[in-house]
A and B are shown apart, each in its own frame.
Chain A
Amino acid sequence: MSRAYLLRRVLLAIPALLGISVVLFTVLAMAPGDPFEELTLNPNVPPEVRIALRASLGLDDPVYLRYFYWLSSMLRGDWGFSFVSRINVDQLILQRVPITVAIIGISQVLAILVAVPVGVLAASRPYSLFDQIANTLAFIGFSMPTFFFGLLLILLFSIQLDWLPMVYQTTVRETGWAWWEVQIKQSIMPIMVLGLFQGASLVRYVRSSVLDVIKLDYVVTARSKGIGQRRVLVRHVVRNALIPVVTLVALQMPVVFGGAIITEQIFRIPGIGSLLIIAILGNDTPVVMGVTFVFACLVVLFNLIADILYGWLDPRIAFR
């Protein structure tokens, strides 16, 4: 992999991101509605106030002007401010990064830690009892919608058993060990919901890609050398089978940042996903624009990382 390759990839990303931003902006600008629904219904707020507010937010300017204005301030590092809370967009996003990364990140890590070994083991003994159970659970996991599973958990653990809280608290008053106890208790359910969903599809991927590799001649050769099942699996099979899995995981990383809109809404976790959904419902264009643009950048970035990882996993893949 050369420096020129990296440079070319980064340069190619620029027109892609510009194109994405144009499409996003136009779609958002053309979407109907504005953020003043409640004001409209309040007879004590004269209509002139709403008109003045719209004008002060630049909502009545032509779309292309608004886009260039957004782009030029973005290039200067100014992300604009939320129409609804009047806070800078970058500040709003940064405020929510830690919780999102903590909850979604942990669930993703857990999913990988469980799914990869389970998938490999299931594939190494196909149609065994272990494989059957793993498969069944995986099917349940990715066919059950997260909102449904989340509600089931709440019904069981919060309402029937009264073990876990159903509302996620961001401002935990306790300190020391008690703080950890509250945090763990309130994070169990959302992490379970997200972990199961992400882990389930991963198990299926790992299993099928290991199955593909395990039949290849070089694996038979390795076995016949007598180096033992464990080493064959870890050294020879898994490394090659991981290539498609790496793509999947790398492309899921932006999702970790983006949070899980539905799960966050159910458990009231103030992550980026819930920021996005509130902004969309409230027609808060700068926030929607900011969040989705960060997504776009992350997708481009992780695609690049996945490509680089390919080279490391399989040196035959060349970079030109």
Chain B
Amino acid sequence: MKEQDLRHMIAGVKSGQMDRRAFVRRLAAFGIAAPMATQLLVHSGVAMAQTSTQIASTYKATKRGGGGALRVLWWQAATLLNPHFATGTKDQDGSRIFYEPLAAWDGDGNLKAILAAEIPSRENGGIAADGKSVTWKLKPGVKWHDGKPFTADDVVFNWQYASDPATAAVTTGSYKDVKVEKIDDLTVKILFKSPQPFWADAFVGASGMIIPKHLFADFTGAKSREAPANLKPVGTGPYKFKDFRPGDTVLGEINMDYHVPNRPFFDSIEMKGGGDAVSAARAVLQTGEYDFAWNLQVEDEVLTRLEKGGKGRVKITEGAGCEHIQLNNTDPWTEVDGERSSMKTKHPSLTDPAVRDALALLIDRKSIQDYIYGRTGIATSNWVNNPPRFRSKNTSYEFNIDKANALLDKAGWARGADGIRGKGAVKLKYVYQTSINQPRQKTQAIVKQACAKAGIEIEIKSVVASVFFSSDIANPDTYPKFYADLQMYNTGPGQPDPGVWLQLGLTSQIATKANKWQGRNPMRWSNAEFDQLLVASDSELDPVKRVAMLIRCNDIMIEKRAVIPVVYRPGVTGISTRLQANTSGWDSNFYDLADWYMAS
């Protein structure tokens, strides 16, 4: 489906020539899911029959409390409860029990108002026509757990707190380039430097939780660590703080003044942490000691067996994390000015498109899904897999050793006496690195085997995760340094918009010694068309056009083998048979905690 056709149809709906249902049906015929279709309409200024502020709630309980204790198990425990310092999802989730953002992302990547009275849109005047500001209206009558009212001052304060470099907040990325103004007690305006097509970042989702001004105002900047409320959160959420043991348990009790009627259902919540993923799965699926378990990075085969215990089920949440293989475009084995994989070098064989195409043909994604990941990793040909509105239909993948051999033969990579292909002194011998993680080592083995059949020799290397993913510039084994030929890991956009995440392919983001390897592009890959499209998309306010641009960016990355996607990895949680809980791949696991309840 072409961009023009889409535009034409949307215009049809706008003017009333085509009805909304017909539009969704037509798009479905092209393989575009209903949420995406409605999303396109919203972005294009057609009011939804059911506005985002009233996403149909699945909550069935009729009164507040009385649900007993909710017991959840995280196999890594929360270590701190200030969302601005949450280094991992476990800390974000622990904080989210007590704190709330203005709006949350639901499982389909739509906004759900939490502390906002409504979601800003072009119709309600929330989004400026020039795209340079957004106005949020706050929900009236919301109180902090200590009884003080929640107002625009709190929102403005969070911006000051997080954007102050001396605070060294983790959330600073969402706040440092914006300005926040108070219009009145229940209205704030966010000003951007340039038009923002993706405006829902500050105060939204997992990094958008709001802390109270009256308890943190005296502890900004360098003093941020001393705030007593860091360990005793006072928020607006469905549960009030009761107890916290860092690295072990977070305990909350029902907030009888919660700002949504009849919620929450449970009288208390216990978030236990520690242990390992397999026994966490067991405690929910098999023994039923717990009601919910987070991030079950366990082989699907084991999960399926545990599910037979009948106490719980595995819940798969769509997400966009992509397990992928990167090809180094520079030479990792030559040192120039104290730097390997320097931009002054060129990889002797991996810069040949034939070799890149051959490698893509040698990765047996279907087997990797079937025999390693199961439900927890789906074979894909795309870099951007979710939300569905960004998923390209133009790519495909294939596993074909014969075709790979033919390609290499044609390109002049002849087999030597040892069976390994080469051209002169250049041999097709590669070091393939990843972090230590069982499914990754199994994937490495599958790839190595297939490559051997095509005359490519792979040497496998695995690095401890805390080193591989560290920012330690003195260490040669980190992934941004990429002192190997191939490397594999998993990364995702974290929010339902791939704009920032796609910077991985940007020329200006290439990781080098000069920028202390802090660039986002470890492949040292560069493509003029990609750069131009991605930069343009950053200020493209027409959502349909922007989606088309970002899909094209994905397609270029796939065609040029900037990355070779293997599987995309949805979120995997364990949930007891009676617990009704919505989860989202775009927000904290507790994005919808207020609506969790036990079915009778």
Contact = CB atoms under 8 A, between A and B. Distances in A.
B17 interface: no
A50 B478 CA distance: 14
Contacts of A34: 466, 470-472
Interface string B120-144: 0000000000000000000000000
A47 B272 contact: no
Contacts of A95: 245-246
A268 B247 CA distance: 10
Contact of B88 (A33, A38, A159): A38
Nearest to B207: A44
Contact of B248 (A35, A82, A84, A170): A170
A254 interface: no
A85 B95 CA distance: 13
A173 B275 CA distance: 21
B274 A270 contact: yes
Contact of B471 (A50, A85, A165, A170): A50
A33 B464 contact: yes
A46 B173 contact: yes
Interface stretch (B181-189, B283-291, B351-359, B421-429): B283-291
B470 A36 contact: yes
Contacts of A173: 69, 268
A53 B80 contact: no
Nearest to A59: B472
Interface string B275-297: 11001001100110110000000
A270 B283 CA distance: 17
A24 B109 CA distance: 48
Interface stretch (B209-217, B515-523, B533-541): B515-523
B73 A167 contact: yes
B79 A84 contact: yes
B437 to A, nearest CB: 12
Contacts of B494: 42-44
A266 interface: yes
B165 interface: yes
Contact of A265 (B89, B174, B274): B274
Interface in A149-172: 154, 158-159, 162, 165-167, 169-171
B393 to A, nearest CB: 24
Interface in B203-231: 207, 225, 230-231
B598 interface: no
A171 B247 contact: no
- Output the residue of B88, B231, B276, B516 with the most chain A CB within 10 A: B88
A216 interface: no
Interface of A: 32-54, 56, 81-82, 84-87, 92, 95, 154, 158-159, 162, 165-167, 169-171, 173, 265-266, 268, 270, 274-275, 278, 281-283
Given A43-B501, A265-B274, 5 more contacts: A32-B474, A33-B467, A43-B504, A46-B172, A56-B168
Shortest beta-carbon contacts, A-B, top 6: A47-B518, A270-B248, A85-B79, A38-B88, A33-B466, A37-B469
15 contacts: A33-B470, A43-B501, A44-B201, A44-B494, A46-B173, A47-B518, A56-B168, A84-B80, A84-B87, A87-B231, A87-B246, A95-B245, A95-B246, A171-B270, A270-B77
